[in-house]
Amino acid sequence: MTIFKTLGAVAALTLFAQPAFAQDADAMDHSKMDHSEMETMDHSKMKTMDHSDMNMMEGMDHSKMDHSGHDHAAKTSDDSNEIISEGTHTVVAKVNGLVCDFCAQALRKVFKKEDAVETISVDLDAGEVRVFLKDGQILSDDRLAKLIRKSGYSLVDITHENGA
C-alpha cells in the first residue's frame, strides 16, 4: 500500500504544482492599459525614438502600425541593451554552456512556449541559438536573455538579422 500512497502523493503534488510553475512572473496585465490609439499611431517621425521603452509592447499586434518611417532593424539606445526584434527578424544569441543535445532540447522546450517565436535552431559547434520570430511579433533582448537563463545557460551576445 505504501508505494501507492507514495505515487499518489507525488501525483497530487505535481498536479497542484504545475499551474503555479506555469505562471510567468513577468507577464504583464494588459487589461489595465489603454491600447486604443496604438493601431493608428504614425511612427514616421520616430527615427530617434528610444526603443528601450518598448519592452512593454510585447504581445501587441505591431503589424497594424505604420512603420514606414523608421527601421526596426537598427539598434538603438546606447545606455541600454534593450533592443526590439520584430517582423521576420532572426535573432542570433551567442550562448555559453551548450555541450550536448540535452542543452539544445532544453532551449527548444523553453522557446517553444514563447508566443513570438516561430522556431529556433541550435548550433552546438558555434554555441549559437538562432531564434526565428513570427511575422509581426517582437521579442525584447531582456526577454531573450531571460529565456536563455531559464533554460540554464548563459547569454554572451545578441545580434539581429533582418530577414524581410
Partner 1 sequence: MCRRLTTLLAALLLAESAYARPVSYPGGWTLMQRNNGDRSAIHAHYSPTAFDSFGVYIEKNWDEDVTFTGLQYNRLVKRFNGPSSQANIYAKAGIGQADPFGSAGAELAGFVEFAADWETRRWFTEYRLRTADFADNESVHHSARLGVAPYIGDYGDLHTWFMVEVQNHPDGDKPITTTPLIRLFKGVQMIELGYTVEENEWLANWIVRF
Residues that bind partner 1 (CB under 8 A): 1-4, 6-7, 9-10, 13-14, 17-18, 21-22, 95-106, 109-110, 113, 122, 124-125, 127, 150-154, 156
Would you say 37 or 125 has its CB closer to partner 1?
Answer: 125
Which ranges of 2-132 would DSSP assign to H, the alpha helix? 2-22, 101-112
Q: How far is the CB of 12 from partner 1 (least distance, A)?
A: 12
**Beta carbons within 8 Å of 85's beta carbon, 6+ residues apart:** 91, 131, 133, 138, 139, 140, 141, 144, 160
32: phi then psi, degrees, rounded to nearest 5? -95, 5
Would you say 18 or 40 has its CB closer to partner 1?
Answer: 18
The alpha carbon of 6 is separated from its chain's Cα centroid by a whole number of angstroms, namely 38
Would you say 17 or 28 has its CB closer to partner 1?
Answer: 17
Q: How far is the CB of 132 from partner 1 (least distance, A)?
A: 16
Q: How far is the CB of 127 from partner 1 (least distance, A)?
A: 6
Q: What span, in angstroms and rounded, lies between the C-alpha atoms of 54 and 30?
A: 14
Would you say 20 or 164 has its CB closer to partner 1?
Answer: 20
Q: How far is the CB of 104 from partner 1 (least distance, A)?
A: 5
Residue type, 104: A
